[in-house]
Amino acid sequence: VPLKRQLTQTMKKQLPSTIYSVLKLLGKEAGRLSMRAYLIGGTVRDLLLNRRNEDMDIVVEGDGIDFALHMQEHYGGHVRTHETFRTATWKHPNGYKVDLTSARTEYYDFPAALPNVELSTIKEDLFRRDFTINAMAICLHEEAFGELLDHFNGLKDLQKQQLRVLYNLSFVEDPTRLLRAIRFESRFNFRLSKNTERLAHESVTHIHSVSKPRLASELIRLFNEEDPFVCVMRMDTFSLLNYLFQSPLDTNLSAKHIKTLAGWQVVLRDKSVAVHSSIWICYMALLTTMNKESFDELYDFCLTKEDIKTLDTLQSLTKQKIDLEYLLNLSLMDLHMTFAHINKEPLIAWFSIFTEKNTTKLFNYILKRETLRRTIDGEDLKRAGYNPSPLFKDMLLYSESLELTSPHISREELLKAIHTKYSVNENL
**Where does this chain bind ligand CTP (CB under 6 A)?**
41-42, 57, 129-130, 134-135, 174, 176-177, 180, 221
What residues contact 358, with CB distance under 8 A and at least 6 apart?
A: none
What residues contact 89, with CB distance under 8 A and at least 6 apart?
A: 68, 79, 80, 82, 97, 98, 99, 100
Q: Return the number of other C-beta atoms located less than 10 Å from residue 169's C-beta.
A: 10
> What is the torsional sign of CA 214, 281, 373, 422?
negative
Q: What's the rounded Cα separation, in Å, for the pair 376 and 397?
A: 10
Query: Among residues 228, 232, 239, which one has the least CA distance to residue 204?
Result: 239
Written as one letter, the residue type at 338 is: T
Give percent helix, percent strand, percent coil of the chain, each to the nearest 5: 60, 10, 30
Sequence-ordered alpha helix ranges (H) in 271-385: 279-287, 292-297, 305-319, 324-329, 332-339, 344-351, 360-370, 378-383
Q: What's the rounded Cα separation, in Å, for the pair 414 and 402?
A: 8
Radius of gyration for the alpha carbons in the chain, expressed in angstroms and rounded: 27
